Amino acid sequence: ALDEAVERAERRRAEEALRESEERYTLAVQGARDGLWDWDLRSGGLYLSPRWKEMLGYDEHEIGAAPEEWLGRVHPNETDRLDAQLRAHLDGRTPHFEFEHRLRQRDGSYRWVLARGLAVGSGTDRAHRIAGSLTDISERKKAEEELLRNAFFDRLTNLPSRALFENRLDRALRIAGRRKDYTFAVLFLDIDRFKDVNDSLGHPAGDQLLAAFARKLEGFLRPGDTVARFGGDEFAMLLEDIRDEAHATMIADRILKGVSEPFPVGGHELMVTASIGLVLNSPAHDGAGAYLRSADAAMYRAKSLGRARLEVFDDKMHARSLELLTLEKDLRHALERSEFVLYYQPFVSLERGAITGCEALLRWIHPTRGLLLPGEFIPIAEETGLIVPIGEWVLHTACAQLQRWLGAGLPRLDLAVNLSARQFNHRDLGAVVTRALDESGLDPARLKLELTESMVMGYSPQTQRTIDFLKHLGIELSIDDFGTGYSSLAYLKRFPCTSLKIDRSFVQDVTTDPDDAAIATAIISLAHNLRMRVIAEGIETEGQRQFLERERCDEGQGFFFSRPVPADEFLLFVKRT
């Protein structure tokens, strides 16, 4: 009798444990809002859960139990790949089934979903059943498409970006290499005195002018030509398959005349002019970069000769190139002459208003040209490899400075330092970082290294080893300028980054542009779901700060709080705050 009582008690405990397990599973499925499917490969029956059908806009009884109910709704571009993925798993060639695809909804539109599944066999027999889940990933796909578009198109004008322009210029170079009768021209265009428009009418008027100017330029395109915005008021055009220089200059002259007509902007009729530099393909240029530099030099010559004119690149324009060479020579001696300084810009908690850290920003005090910003010399440093010793100096100097501040009683602050692609890929990076920490005595947890999206996405075993080593030291990694690179959200799961920065281009108009607001909100939500902190850069107004705080962005950076300032001014700023 005692044995029977024990057996009944154990059976009750087992049943209770099973019931609790089933409840946990049910709650997990309901919480995840995933659809479920179960395919009996022997009978051909396919179970689709109510949530599966609901995702596509159907009631529970409107879809039957045949495999065609699923497979027949797959987008035609993805049916073959879905079939291949299923077969690979059922044949035992993959450990599990996972495939992103589009399914046709009741209204005829398509929704992005992620199907996951696992096959079940019987002993050594072929799989007789496969079951899994279906997740709605349409919002993620929408965000990915938006981020990808931002990498190749300018958000203000909808023109191709520099990246896409260089891609098409590379293609033109390949065609020219195959066809001796193929000629192309590259034009650099700059709106004359554009700064006056911004200063007198404000940046919104300047943006309106840029958009209108872009539409005007598009009107001069022939089939196959490209016009792109490079940033600010700089534009570039690629004229493909032209007859000769006279043909190219004729098109450029028409552009000069066309853009000199008045532009209606903000209740004003703006009369603007443009300066254009032109270069034709020739053996003297060995790549896209060389053409862009030559067209840029020709454009600057047009500016210097009075603006509102066209200049064709020739040998006399090497002066600009010589100027860059001189700058490179000076750059090689800048370290030994102690001409570099660091400025610091604070990070501020949007919830508490407290300073949480700072970013170290490089400046060059040139002996004849004065204070130079990174954009004026970092590209040269990258190209020549000087960025490696310069970057090492930045890291050592910034770590030592923060340690001095902490030793003087400042609150615990984090320090962010940008890494360039060349630094990140250098084999000695780990040793450089270790040395900077050891010599300064700084706690590794206080150091944050900022990487760009393209650096993280350029995966290689060396990349992984570098990231693993930095994480082993206890250093935080952050994605800088998120949303401006060749974005794929998958890499965020793969790499152990603890924070990301929303690029200033998304912050600028969050209070006036619903699309920018939606993108910023989506990035914040995405990062938080991946347990990452979010910093918004480029905050300049109280309205932007309030919006980002409301959307639970963690920290902010920008002129609203403080411009980048020298070390002594930053110390005073922190003490005052």
**Residues 6+ positions from 88 with CB-CB distance below 8 Å:** 94
pLDDT attached to residue 3: 62
Given CA atoms 434, 438, 440, 446 in this order, what sign does their dihedral have?
positive
Rounded Cα distance between 346 and 469, Å, is 27
Segment 452-480 shows an average pLDDT of 80
Residues sharing a CB contact under 8 Å with residue 397, sequence separation 6 or more, in sequence order: 342, 360
* Identity at 88, one-letter amino acid code: A
Percentage of residues of the chain with pLDDT beyond 90: 57
Q: Which residue is associated with the tokens 């300032």?
A: 565
At 312 the pLDDT is 93
State the pTM of this model.
Answer: 0.53
Identify the band that residue 396 occupies on the pLDDT scale cut at 50, 70 and 90: very high
- Say if residue 22 is exposed, middle or buried (CB neighbours under 10 Å; 0-12, 13-18, 19+): exposed
Q: How confident is the model at residue 8 (pLDDT cuts 50, 70, 90)?
A: low
Q: What is the pLDDT of residue 491?
A: 64
What is the pLDDT averaged over residues 179-202?
87
Lowest mean pLDDT among 148-152, 256-260, 423-427, 472-476: 148-152
Please write the tens of the pLDDT for every residue from 110-145: 999 999 999 987 545 678 899 999 999 998 888 888
Is there a contact between 414 and 420 (Cβ–Cβ < 8 Å)? Answer: no
Beta strands of 428-509 (E only): which ranges?
447-452, 476-482, 499-502
Q: Express each pLDDT in 241-274 by its tens digit.
A: 999 999 999 999 999 999 988 898 878 888 899 9
pLDDT band for position 25 (cuts 50, 70, 90): very low
Instruction: Give the separation between CA 478 and CA 471, rounded to whole angstroms.
Output: 12
Say what the pLDDT of residue 28 is. 46
- Give the distance, in angstroms, between the CA of residue 339 and the centroid of all CA atoms in the same chain: 32
Is the per-residue pLDDT at 81 higher than 50? Answer: yes
Answer yes or no: is pLDDT of 203 > 80: yes
pLDDT of residue 180: 87
- Which has the minimum average pLDDT: 11-25, 185-199, 211-225, 372-386? 11-25
Structure confidence at residue 399 (pLDDT): 98
Mean pLDDT of 148-176: 90
- For CA atoms 126, 132, 138, 142, give the dihedral sign: negative
Beta-bridged to residue 571, according to DSSP, are none
Question: Which SS3 state, helix, strand or coil, does residue 503 take?
Answer: coil
How far is 39 from 130, CA to CA, in rounded Å?
5
Q: How confident is the model at residue 415 (pLDDT cuts 50, 70, 90)?
A: very high
CA quadruple 432, 433, 434, 437: dihedral sign: positive
The answer, yes or no, to whether residue 375 has pLDDT greater than 90, is no
How far is CA 361 from each of CA 107, 442, 564, rounded to the nearest angstrom? Answer: 53, 19, 7
How far apart (Å, rounded) are the C-alpha atoms in residues 237 and 55?
45
DSSP secondary structure letters along 294-341: HHHHHHHHHHHTTSSSEEE--GGGHHHHHHHHHHHHHHHHHTTTT-EE
Between CA 469 and CA 463 the distance in angstroms is 10
pLDDT(212) > 90: yes
Residues of the chain with pLDDT > 70, as a percent, come to 89
Give the containing element (helix H, strand E) for 203: helix 203-218
Question: Three-state SS across 234-286?
Answer: EEEEEECCCCCHHHHHHHHHHHHHHHCCCEEECCEEECCCEEEEEEECCCCCC
| Mean pLDDT across the chain | 87
Instruction: Supply the pLDDT for residue 233.
Output: 92
Q: Output the pLDDT for position 21.
A: 47
Q: Specify the pLDDT at position 297.
A: 86
Type of residue at 9: A
Among the residue ranges 19-23, 432-436, 468-472, 513-517, the one predicted with the least confidence is 19-23
